[in-house]
């Protein structure tokens, strides 16, 4: 592991930290979520031991790359810097320190299974060797962090009610959650901070920020589905710890493109149709069918991930949490309940903060889009 980073994965919340520690004496805290299609910021303050929402805001990145709102971008650093400065100004952000999220597209998260005989002091030498099998670039080009998951028992035979039969052989495995991020990504984010004159105590993977703002004290396995613009991220979390992380290379922007192509219309018009129609067949059957195909593709991957988890751990998913801007597609909640046959809820990160009562409905509706930003801000307060 790079000595400039601390292994601060705790209770399933992993962070890539700089040499500085988080300043919890500060009165206000800023979370900055730089996504592929937008930047979101959330500023909270600590008052009487509680998180109080001071301001929040979002800005689309498309116009900074001469493309449409909602489109996936790959902007140069200077364009990201300008967008971040603009959204902070428009949102009346008053501080110049906070935490930035690292998107899943710039990182890898995977689980290694190692023999139980390996001692913890040997992990630092063994994990980089094993991680090479999963990382498509030289290991020297990435920074690794990891967390040893609670021990589980794996059996080579099925359970049997016949006590006269030989007992099954139980093998204890050591599972390690590994996070890898390309050093060039860290360098780029440090450049963004420098040019925006923002002091950041840490970088954090977006999945862990999402967990912090979306979960309460859930112990049973939960499926978190983060519908982004370019990708959909699937995480199975148990007792606050990520056990499975999977990326589906399809997101909200892909649905918009499919609508635009099928109806021979512009991306911006297709984006409006996606938001207003969604899965509502009564509103526009043609658009709804296009959206349905993409959602079913994502859910097919999700079902495979859930099935593999259930088979490995012999545990069922107790709840599904929907987050990300794409989760607000009309009819997605009903489709999710029908597919997963369990409780499905939207992430409500602003419920972790205090805000004026008249904003409660707006914050609840927009909450899934700000889960990462809220989680980043909360990390500094907790």
- Tell me the mean pLDDT in the region 165-172: 47
Residues whose CB falls within 8 Å of the CB of residue 231, separated by 6 or more in sequence, listed in order: 36, 104, 105, 247, 248, 249, 250, 251
Cα-based distances in Å from 301 to 94, 306, 307? 42, 9, 10
Q: How big is the CA angle at 219 (ends 366 and 6), to the nearest 5 degrees?
A: 80
Write the burial class of residue 87 (CB in 10 Å: 0-12 exposed, 13-18 middle, 19+ buried). buried
**Per-domain boundaries in the chain:** 1-148+178-214+348-382, 216-346
Q: How big is the CA angle at 376 (ends 375 and 379), to the nearest 5 degrees?
A: 85
Compute the mean pLDDT over every residue in the chain, rounded to the nearest whole number.
Answer: 86
pLDDT tens digits, one per residue of 330-348: 999 999 999 999 999 999 9
Per DSSP, helices labelled H in 237-359 are 252-263, 267-277, 285-313, 332-340
Residue 18 confidence class, pLDDT cut points 50, 70, 90: very low
pLDDT tens digits, one per residue of 298-316: 999 999 999 999 999 899 9
Radius of gyration of the chain (CA): 21
CATH no. for 216-346: 3.30.420.40
The domains spanning 1-148+178-214+348-382 and 216-346 adopt the same CATH topology = yes
Q: Report d(CA 44, CA 373) in Å as an integer.
A: 10
pLDDT tens digits, one per residue of 223-280: 999 999 999 999 999 988 899 999 999 999 999 999 999 999 999 999 999 999 999 9
| 120, pLDDT greater than 80 | no
- Give the lowest-confidence range in 26-35, 166-175, 177-186, 335-344: 166-175
At the topology level of CATH, where does 1-148+178-214+348-382 sit?
Nucleotidyltransferase; domain 5 (3.30.420)
């Amino acid at each position: 592991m790079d000595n400039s980073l601390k292994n601060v994965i705790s209770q399933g919340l992993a962070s890539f930290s700089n040499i500085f520690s988080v300043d919890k004496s500060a009165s206000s805290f800023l979370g900055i979520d730089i996504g592929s299609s937008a930047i979101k910021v959330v500023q909270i303050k600590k008052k009487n031991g509680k998180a109080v929402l001071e301001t929040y805001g979002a800005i689309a990145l498309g116009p900074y790359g001469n493309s449409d709102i909602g489109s996936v971008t790959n902007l140069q650093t200077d364009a990201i810097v300008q967008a971040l400065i603009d959204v902070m100004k428009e949102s009346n952000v008053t501080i110049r320190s906070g935490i930035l999220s690292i998107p899943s597209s710039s990182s890898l998260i995977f689980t290694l299974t190692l023999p139980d005989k390996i001692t913890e002091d040997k992990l630092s030498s063994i994990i980089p060797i094993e991680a090479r099998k999963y990382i498509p670039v030289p290991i020297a080009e990435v920074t690794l962090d990891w967390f040893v998951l609670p021990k589980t028992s794996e059996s080579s035979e099925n359970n049997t009610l016949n006590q006269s039969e030989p007992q099954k052989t139980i093998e204890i495995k050591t599972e390690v959650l590994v996070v890898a991020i390309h050093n060039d990504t860290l360098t780029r984010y440090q450049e963004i901070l420098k040019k925006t004159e923002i002091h950041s105590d840490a970088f954090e993977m977006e999945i862990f920020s999402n967990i912090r703002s979306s979960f309460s004290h859930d112990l049973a396995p939960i499926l978190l589905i983060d519908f982004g613009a370019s990708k959909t991220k699937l995480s199975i979390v148990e007792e606050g710890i990520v056990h499975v992380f999977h990326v589906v290379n399809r997101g909200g922007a892909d649905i918009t493109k499919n609508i635009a192509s099928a109806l021979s219309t512009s991306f911006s018009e297709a984006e409006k149709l996606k938001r207003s129609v969604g899965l509502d067949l009564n509103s526009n059957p043609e658009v709804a069918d296009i959206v349905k195909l993409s959602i079913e593709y994502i859910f097919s991957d999700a079902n495979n991930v859930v099935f593999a988890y259930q088979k490995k751990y012999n545990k069922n998913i107790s709840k599904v949490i929907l987050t990300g801007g794409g989760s607000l597609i009309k009819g997605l909640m009903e489709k999710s309940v029908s597919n997963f046959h369990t409780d499905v809820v939207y992430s409500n990160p602003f419920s972790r903060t205090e805000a004026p009562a008249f904003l409660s409905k707006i914050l609840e509706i927009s909450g899934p889009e700000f889960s990462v930003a809220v989680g980043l801000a909360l990390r500094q307060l907790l």
